[in-house]
């Protein structure tokens, strides 16, 4: 699966997602794009967008987006806080459908 990590997700998370092609918003040169434009751009090259932005569901109609969205719901966006939910994230990614919106928490 081709995954795009939002600006607020540590790039080091990619090491914990073997079997996936993982890029970051920064690597693509998309820093600063508003969520709607960012998601539309991401949909052209990626299967899923991974973010820690808990407000995204209130800002975008996720069910109408052309890309799956995964929201990592932890107390912090630091890698150490995200590591405990990696098993759930991996499980979700294995069956993630296009246009799905999923929240992953502990």
Could you give the strand order of the β-sheet that contains 21-24, starting from the edge strand earlier in sequence?
Answer: 21-24, 2-5, 48-51, 68-73, 101-105
For 4, counting Cβ atoms within 10 Å of its Cβ (0-12 exposed, 13-18 middle, 19+ buried), the class is buried
Q: What's the pLDDT tens digit per position in 89-104?
A: 999 999 999 888 999 9
pLDDT-derived band of residue 65, with 50, 70 and 90 as boundaries? confident
Q: How far is CA 59 from CA 54, 56, 67, 88, 103, in A?
A: 10, 5, 15, 25, 15
- Give the model confidence (pLDDT) of 15-41 as tens digits: 999 999 999 999 999 999 988 899 989
> Which pLDDT score, from 0 to 100, does residue 52 have?
96
Give CA angle at 104 (2, 89), nearest 5°. Answer: 45
Burial class (CB in 10 A: 0-12, 13-18, 19+), 77: middle
The per-residue pLDDT for 16 is: 97
Res. 72: pLDDT tops 80: yes
Q: Please give the average per-residue pLDDT across 74-99, as a whole number.
A: 95
pLDDT on residue 95: 94
pTM tops 0.85, yes or no: yes
pLDDT for res 17: 97
């Amino acid at each position: 699966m081709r995954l795009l990590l939002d600006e607020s997700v540590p790039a080091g998370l990619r090491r914990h997602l073997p079997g996936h092609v993982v890029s970051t918003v920064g690597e693509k040169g998309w820093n600063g794009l508003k969520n709607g434009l960012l998601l539309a751009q991401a949909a052209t090259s990626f299967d899923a967008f991974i973010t820690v932005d808990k407000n995204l569901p209130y800002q975008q109609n996720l069910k109408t987006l052309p890309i799956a969205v995964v929201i990592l719901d932890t107390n912090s966006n630091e890698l150490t806080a995200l590591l405990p939910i990696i098993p759930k994230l991996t499980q979700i990614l294995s069956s993630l459908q296009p246009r799905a919106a999923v929240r992953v928490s502990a």
